[in-house]
Amino acid sequence: MIPDFNSRSRVMLFAPHPDDESLACSVILQRAVRARAAVRVIYVTNGEDNPWPHRVLERKWRLNSSDRNRWGKMRRAEALAALAVLGVGPTETRFLGLPDQQLTSLLTSDYEPLLKRFAGEINDFGPTHLLVPSLSDTHPDHSALGVMLRLVGNAFFLHQTAMRTWSYVVHGQSSAFFGRATALTQSKIETAKKRAAIACHQSQIKLSRRRFFAYATRPEYLYRACAADFGVVEGSIHSASRQRHSLQITVRMQLKFIYRTEPALFVLGNGARGEFRCAKIDIPPRSKSVAARDVRTRRAIALAQYRGDSYAGELLVPTTTFAPHAPVFVKLERRSWFFDEAGWIEIPPVTAHGLTSALRLAGVA
């Protein structure tokens, strides 16, 4: 299934950074413009924290806040040029200016103000089609924004039948996404415009020309998300099952990356009174009890049990501080430079029988 636009359609794209519109949504934007649909593109960050191309282009090793602000302004200008190629004007564009490379921190520390801000943008435009990053994208900004917008939908637009939500991926080869997404067959004209839009992002193609232009011929994929849609586990999370007061996660650590951080599991959702809640559990190298700590306060809120070693094991996490009737989102963070091993996974609420179906690798049991 792919979107079908007409002159009454209202298409809204949330892009984590300038260039995501060109890499993953060029064709779909062209089709919206051709159909005379109303279009709005929301850039959540300015892409200012992009150090390696920045250092090469400006021949400067140490970058300060002034340098990053200047870089962000340049990337905004590149994005407007790319949108012009695709037929989208500057009046149809918004830049929110949230901090680049920090969306996961914002999500796990206090996402509620951002949800209201995103909901306000959506209400202001009233889209019939909403394009959002997939939870499965391996760039942490992308997957974090995907979770935020999923939470926005659950909190504000759960019964909004006039709006269809479509997720897209820029980074990674997630089976959870590509196993369910539909490829858009693009024409030669659409491909040429997509390539021209990508070429507007000169700051990005300085170091990654071949990789960026490869997106011009790569099909764009979209997956229509719905209210009852839940994730498929992937990466080092092999399975996940939820009971009324606990969450059981089986991990099998993949060895094909060089990781910058020790593995940690995040569990995010609503507390018993609907308040924000996010816990972090550092995965130990051997069997032991380990604290689940509130990300905001760093206080221990539960005692998790890990049975296993550095390569595989089972983690039992008490979830009495989370509302059983609401979904939770989990992520095993094992970051390699800019990218994660996998994105976030949405685990459904507990059923009337007191448990959820188990989510397993590459499919839902």
Rounded Cα distance between 291 and 301, Å, is 7
Q: What is the mean pLDDT of the chain?
A: 90
Q: Which CATH number fits domain 10-225: 1.10.3720.10, 3.30.750.210, 3.40.50.10320, 3.30.70.260?
A: 3.40.50.10320
Rounded Cα distance between 291 and 311, Å, is 20
Least confident of 33-42, 80-89, 274-283: 274-283
Fold matches, 10-225 and 237-364 = no
- Of 52, 53, 46, the C-alpha closest to 15 is 46
- Cβ atoms of 234 and 315 within 8 Å: the answer is no
Q: Tell me, what DSSP letter sits at residue 234?
A: -
Least confident of 91-95, 319-323, 356-360: 356-360
And the tokens for 97?
A: 């200016």
Q: Mind listing the pLDDT tens digit for each residue in 73-109? A: 999 999 999 999 999 999 999 999 999 999 999 999 9
Domain 237-364, CATH 2.60.40 — does that match? yes
Rounded Cα distance between 131 and 287, Å, is 42
Rounded Cα distance between 93 and 75, Å, is 14
Rounded Cα distance between 102 and 338, Å, is 11
Looking at residue 280, its pLDDT comes to 96
- Cβ atoms of 281 and 292 within 8 Å: the answer is yes
| Domain ranges across the chain | 10-225, 237-364
- Of 282, 323, 324, the C-alpha closest to 303 is 282
Looking at residue 347, its pLDDT comes to 92
- Cβ atoms of 184 and 221 within 8 Å: the answer is yes
Q: How confident is the model at residue 32 (pLDDT cuts 50, 70, 90)?
A: very high
User: How much is the average pLDDT of 148-169?
Assistant: 88
Q: How confident is the model at residue 353 (pLDDT cuts 50, 70, 90)?
A: low
Q: Mind listing the pLDDT tens digit for each residue in 228-252? A: 677 688 888 999 999 989 999 999 9
How many residues make up the chain in this entry? 365
Rounded Cα distance between 279 and 277, Å, is 7
Q: Residue 76 carries which side chain, given as an amino acid letter? A: R
Q: Distance between terminal CA atoms of the chain?
A: 24
Rounded Cα distance between 109 and 268, Å, is 10
- Other C-beta atoms closer than 10 Å to the C-beta of 157 total 19
Beta strands per DSSP E along 136-263: 164-168, 182-184, 220-225, 237-243, 246-252
Q: How confident is the model at residue 364 (pLDDT cuts 50, 70, 90)?
A: very low
Q: How confident is the model at residue 182 (pLDDT cuts 50, 70, 90)?
A: very high
